[in-house]
Chain A
Amino acid sequence: MRAFEKNKRLILGAVGIFVFLCIWYIATKSTTLGKVMPDPVTVFGGFFTAFVEPIGTKTMTMHILISLRRMLVPYAIGGFTGVLIGILMGWYKVADAIFMPYIQMLRPIPPIAWIPLSIIWFGFDEGSKYFLIFLACFFTIALTTYNGVHSVDETLVRASRMLGANDRQLFMTIVLPTTVPYIFSGLQVALGSAWATIVAAEMIRSSEGVGWLIVRGQDIGNMTQIMIGIVAIALTGLLITTLMRVLENKLCAWTVRGK
């Protein structure tokens, strides 16, 4: 019975996507929309041929990998410092008092609004993009980690203190297990916004990468290339967030079971 339900979901989902593609196809073939919008066959055909035939100077694989590298290096740095600062702020009231006002002041600025400043400070190269992604990740991860540390049950802390746990034991066995799920939710949110930010940064200034694909398509008036770029962005985004969720389910098995 359950297997049938699962199959039903799969079949209806496939039908949904098929119907969507059909509407897209018919709309472009039969109306004036077809003059500006390529049909799905052209777009997906173009997407797959781009893996062997380069767009610009690079193939699709390289565009995607370049964007991913640009994103992952500062994502790792931002994640690490974010977790560190978040735990510091959560645990020490003084650190909280020192850093919190800055985080509260800088966080409302959308990472994309930093683009002009970062270009002047770090030039048009990778430096400015690293800076933007770092900003896009850091605040989210620091704040979720901070909330995680604050959600630690005070009774558990006092009980373990009474039973003679030292700071390291307290941190490893009580604070960390409570905080990790929060850290992961921060990492997940930050991953999405990092991906959106790198696309925006590449659209404003770059010579390769998935964001460049779209903006180049716009410059030369090639709608097919824009749509190919969007497909690449959507699929890569889907892939990395799914990977992250799988990783979370593997590493935080205890919270998943608890749900």
Chain B
Amino acid sequence: MKNKQTAKMSKFLIISVLSVCAGILAWWIVTDVLELFRSNVLPSPVKVMQTFMKKWVETKPDGATLLQHLFASLKVALGGYLIGAAIGIPLGIFMAWNDKIDMLVRPVFDLVRTIPGVAWTSVMVTLVGIGYMSKALVIFISAMVAMVINSYSGIKQTKTVHLWVGQTFGASNWELLTKVAIPSALPMIFTGLDVALGSAWTTLVAAELLASTRGLGFMIQQARGIFRLDIVIVGMVVIAITGAILSTIIRKIGNKIVKGGRLG
């Protein structure tokens, strides 16, 4: 039975691999073999691979290597993200724990959170100019909003029975918060960290497309201007892979720290 199942699994795995190979082959055929598309409309997979290899050392045409762009982006994204998390998590917990504050702040927060992170770019650029600060602030806002929402609902989902048990045994309000509510909210907080990372990374790309002098978003925007689509695709791939790696790291840390539960 088990053998049969693994045989079935590997059959579908083969179909998956074939499917991807067929896709890449079709891409290669329409570009390199049949030449239906010129490289400034759809570059061939071979060209994209070559550019990917070359771009690590070459600074042409946008003035920096792939690694420099990647570090510039990471510096901005992680800076804004970490501050956003450092403020967003306690704020969400505080809002959820204190009913009066909740009722006062919640409507304001609900209004602010409907504004997409990108929309803040114009405000920040006008306030502090194009540069590290404006982008980091935009990312800070979008990461913080996601953090507040998730840690807030994490605390709100604490089982009332658990709180009652705590109260019966004479726990103080502070003990209830730190010993019962926060541990049970941890999975949600880590989901928030993951979501916030995603939105920080997306917002960063948008901010770099709009106003920047370095970074992955800047690189693909510049390459688009001179019809170097191979660089555009390389940039998109690097953006996707970096985002996926960062999210995996967060989830790994989460699984280590969260006890007795698993992350969805």
Question: Is B36 close to A, CB under 8 A?
Answer: no
In the complex, whether A187 has a CB less than 8 A from a CB of chain B is no
Given A12-B104, A16-B107, A98-B15, answer yes or no on A233-B115 (Cβ-Cβ < 8 Å): yes
Given A101-B20, A217-B122; A16-B111 close (CB under 8 Å)? no
A178 interface contact, C-beta 8 A: no
Collect the chain A residues with CB atoms within 8 Å of residue B111's CB. Answer: 17, 234, 238
CB of B122 within 8 A of CB of A97, answer: no
The answer to whether B236 touches A102 (Cβ under 8 A) is no
- Contacts A20-B108, A110-B202; A237 near B116 (Cβ below 8 A): yes
Shortest distance between the CB of B12 and any CB in chain A (Å) = 4
A94 shortest CB reach to chain B, Å: 6
Are A203 and B244 touching (Cβ within 8 A)? no
B108 near A218 with CB under 8 A, answer: no
| A230 touches which of B20, B119, B233 (Cβ 8 Å) | B119
Question: Are B122 and A203 within 8 A (Cβ)?
Answer: yes
Given the complex of chains A and B, what is the CA–CA distance between A119 and B206 in angstroms? 15
Q: A77-85, A154-162, A219-227: which one contacts chain B?
A: A219-227
The distance from the CB of B251 to the nearest CB of chain A, in whole angstroms, is 14
Q: Which residue of A lies closest to B110 (CB)?
A: A238
- Does B25 sit within 8 A of A, measured CB to CB? no
Contact flag A116-B20 (CB < 8 Å), given A110-B243, A200-B206, A217-B122: no
Which B residues are CB-close (under 8 A) to A195?
Answer: 116
**Is B157 among interface residues, defined by CB-CB distance under 8 A?**
no
Looking at B60-68, B160-168, B216-224, the stretch in contact with chain A turns out to be: B216-224
Q: Which of A194-230 contact B (CB under 8 A)?
A: 195-196, 199-200, 203-204, 211, 214-215, 217-218, 221, 223, 226-227, 229-230
Cβ of A114 within 8 Å of any chain B Cβ, yes or no, is: yes
B103 touches A16 (CB 8 A): yes
8 A Cβ contacts from A83-100 to B: 93-94, 96-100
* B1: min CB distance to chain A, Å: 17
Cα separation A16 to B121 with both chains bound (whole Å): 26
The answer, yes or no, to whether A164 is at the interface (CB within 8 Å) is: no
Q: How far is the CA of A17 from the CA of B209 in the complex (A)?
A: 34
- Contact status B127-A109, CB under 8 Å: no
Interface residues on A, range: 35 or more
Contacts of B23 in A (CB 8 A): 102
B105 contacts chain A at the CB level, 8 A cutoff? yes
Beta-carbon contact of A113 and B19 below 8 Å: no
Say whether B202 contacts A98, CB under 8 Å.
no
Q: Which residue of A lies closest to B217 (CB)?
A: A113
| A97 to B16 alpha-carbon distance, docked (Å) | 5
Check B118 for interface membership: any CB of A closer than 8 A: yes
Q: Does A245 count as interface, using CB distance less than 8 angstroms?
A: no
Chain B residues whose C-beta falls within 8 Å of the C-beta of A113 in the assembled complex? 205, 217, 220, 235-236, 239-240
- Smallest distance from the beta carbon of B42 to chain A beta carbons, Å? 8
Contacts of B240 in A (CB 8 A): 105-106, 108-109, 113
A112 to chain B: closest residue by CB: B206
B34 to chain A, nearest CB (A): 18
Contact B116 A200 (CB under 8 A): yes
CB distance from B23 to the nearest CB of A (A): 7
With A108-B244, A195-B116 as known contacts, state yes or no: A223 contacts B12, CB within 8 Å. no
Query: Bound complex: CA of A106 vs CA of B244, how far in Å?
Result: 11
Q: Which 4 A-B pairs have the closest CB atoms?
A: A196-B116, A116-B224, A12-B103, A110-B202
Given A36-B127, A116-B220, 11 more A-B residue pairs with CB atoms under 8 Å apart are A15-B104, A16-B106, A16-B108, A97-B12, A97-B16, A110-B239, A112-B206, A117-B232, A203-B119, A218-B126, A226-B123
Contacts from A to B (Cβ < 8 Å): 8-9, 12-17, 19-20, 36-37, 93-94, 96-102, 105-106, 108-117, 119-121, 195-196, 199-200, 203-204, 211, 214-215, 217-218, 221, 223, 226-227, 229-230, 233-235, 237-238, 241
Q: Can you report 23 residue pairs joining A to B where beta carbons are below 8 Å apart?
A: A8-B103, A12-B104, A13-B107, A16-B104, A97-B16, A97-B19, A98-B19, A100-B16, A108-B240, A120-B40, A120-B224, A120-B229, A196-B117, A200-B116, A203-B121, A211-B119, A215-B122, A230-B120, A233-B116, A234-B111, A234-B112, A237-B115, A238-B110
